């Protein structure tokens, strides 16, 4: 009798731990199965390709957010930074008739500068990261609206003599061996970020900085420098996402990155729950982006109004996060 009771008690923690580790994976599989049953076109190659293409930009922004979460920070400016990248890359091509290299370097430089500004406010001025990056988000949004007078940048607009060159459009619209280029970029960046954070000494320094900053500092780790690196990387990834977005839609749309912010943040936080990691991680972030992409695509195929999609997406996000934060207790 005592053995039976002990066995039952031991099974409960095992089941609970299994839910913590694989709950989010289960949600992804369940959501995929549901939409596949509701629409026979959901699991077609074309639709899967569309999902991967759509999540590629969100994933780039989410990886940047993940780096800031790793050092116990947070970046709310990634959406605005992506918008700034769309405007600057489009302006370089359409308004100033620059070539591919300039159209890539200018937005990346802008993204890096935004990241350094965030780091200055958070690390040097010691503002709370949430308030600092929120302020920077508004500054960047206002700046690009002022410079563009609220107008998008596109071929044929008044005073524009340039165009979106084919090599630039290939980034967002081309394919390699049948795989969309944005997906290739997403996979390469994700792999590099994963190896860097999980397999290198520098990556461990990032995690040590975030887990216990004071202990890391006493151990000789330059914690402020790694926090600066994290925000700089976040700005670069947000700018890269903006470049891919511009290349995909063929215009420089003002505030185009705004809607991507919450999806990127959600993807990064869902990563906590993947495999019971209990920490921000790249694989979790990518799978979080996949979950968000599946939900949005499936709801669209079911003709669910856009204003109702956030309700459903938010509910599933809460369920996924519940596994993460419960496991930390």
**DSSP letter string over 221-265?**
--HHHHHHHHHHHHHHHHHHHHHHHHHHHTSB-TTTTTTHHHHHH
Q: Which of 294, 265, 221 is nearest to 82 (CA)?
A: 265
**What are the start-end ranges of the E strands in the chain?**
175-176, 179-180
- Return the structure tokens found at 133: 């990056």
The angle at the Cα of 262, spanning 250 to 61, to the nearest 5 degrees, equals: 55
Assess contact for 98 and 164: CB atoms under 8 A. Answer: no
- Return the structure tokens found at 200: 């290198």
pLDDT reported for residue 63: 97
Assess contact for 1 and 257: CB atoms under 8 A. Answer: no
- Return the structure tokens found at 92: 């370089």
What does the alpha-carbon distance between residue 179 and residue 174 come to, in Å, rounded to a whole number? 9
Q: Which residues, 6 or more positions from 22, have their beta carbon under 8 angstroms from its beta carbon?
A: 275
Tracing tokens 């956030």 back to the chain, one arrives at: 310
**DSSP letter string over 13-62?**
HHHHHHHHHHHHHHHHHHHHHHHHHH-TTTTSHHHHHHHHHHHHHHHHHH
The angle at the Cα of 138, spanning 128 to 59, to the nearest 5 degrees, equals: 80
Q: Which of 30, 34, 58 is nearest to 290 (CA)?
A: 58
Dihedral through CA 243, CA 249, CA 254, CA 255, nearest 10? -80
Residues belonging to the chain: 329
pLDDT reported for residue 304: 85
What does the alpha-carbon distance between residue 141 and residue 162 come to, in Å, rounded to a whole number? 25
DSSP 3-state of 281:
coil
pTM score = 0.90
DSSP 3-state of 279:
coil
Distance of CA 100 to the CA centre of its chain: 24
Assess contact for 54 and 113: CB atoms under 8 A. Answer: no
pLDDT in tens, the chain (329 residues): 555 555 554 555 666 555 556 667 788 888 899 999 998 899 998 899 889 998 999 999 999 999 999 999 999 999 999 999 999 999 999 999 999 999 999 999 999 999 999 999 999 999 999 999 999 999 999 998 888 888 889 898 887 888 999 999 999 999 998 899 999 999 999 999 999 999 999 999 999 999 999 999 999 999 999 999 999 999 999 999 999 999 999 999 888 888 889 889 889 888 876 765 678 899 989 998 998 899 899 989 988 887 787 787 677 667 656 655 665 55
Tracing tokens 């975030």 back to the chain, one arrives at: 210
The angle at the Cα of 258, spanning 278 to 73, to the nearest 5 degrees, equals: 35
pLDDT reported for residue 99: 93
Q: Which residues, 6 or more positions from 257, have their beta carbon under 8 angstroms from its beta carbon?
A: 61, 78, 79, 80, 81, 82, 83, 84, 85, 86, 238, 241, 242, 245
């Amino acid at each position: 009798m005592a053995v039976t009771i002990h066995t039952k008690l031991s099974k409960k923690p095992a089941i609970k731990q299994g839910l913590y580790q694989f709950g989010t994976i289960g949600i992804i599989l369940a959501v995929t199965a549901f939409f596949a049953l509701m629409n026979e076109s959901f699991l077609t190659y074309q639709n899967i390709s569309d999902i991967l293409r759509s999540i590629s930009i969100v994933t780039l922004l989410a990886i940047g957010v993940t780096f800031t979460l790793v050092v116990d920070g947070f970046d709310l400016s990634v959406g605005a930074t992506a918008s700034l990248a769309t405007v600057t890359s489009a302006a370089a091509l359409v308004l100033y008739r620059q070539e591919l290299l300039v159209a890539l370097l200018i937005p990346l430089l802008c993204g890096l500068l935004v990241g350094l500004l965030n780091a200055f406010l958070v690390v040097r001025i010691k503002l709370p990261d949430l308030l600092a990056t929120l302020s920077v988000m508004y500054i960047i949004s206002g700046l690009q609206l002022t410079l563009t007078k609220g107008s998008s940048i596109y071929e044929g607009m008044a005073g524009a003599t340039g165009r979106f060159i084919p090599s630039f459009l290939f980034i967002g619209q081309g394919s390699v061996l049948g795989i969309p280029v944005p997906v290739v970029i997403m996979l390469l960046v994700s792999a590099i970020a994963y190896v860097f954070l999980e397999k290198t000494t520098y990556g461990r320094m990032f995690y040590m900085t975030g887990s216990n900053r004071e202990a890391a500092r006493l151990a000789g780790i330059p914690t402020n420098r790694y926090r600066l690196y994290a925000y700089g990387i976040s700005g670069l990834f947000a700018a890269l996402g903006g470049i891919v977005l511009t290349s995909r839609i063929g215009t420089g749309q003002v505030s185009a990155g705004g809607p991507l912010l919450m999806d990127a943040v959600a993807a990064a936080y869902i990563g906590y729950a993947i495999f019971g990691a209990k920490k921000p991680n790249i694989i979790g972030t990518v799978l979080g982006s996949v979950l968000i992409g599946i939900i949005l695509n499936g709801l669209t195929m079911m003709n669910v109004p856009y204003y109702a999609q956030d309700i459903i997406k938010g509910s599933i996000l809460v369920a996924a996060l519940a596994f993460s934060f419960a496991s930390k207790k």
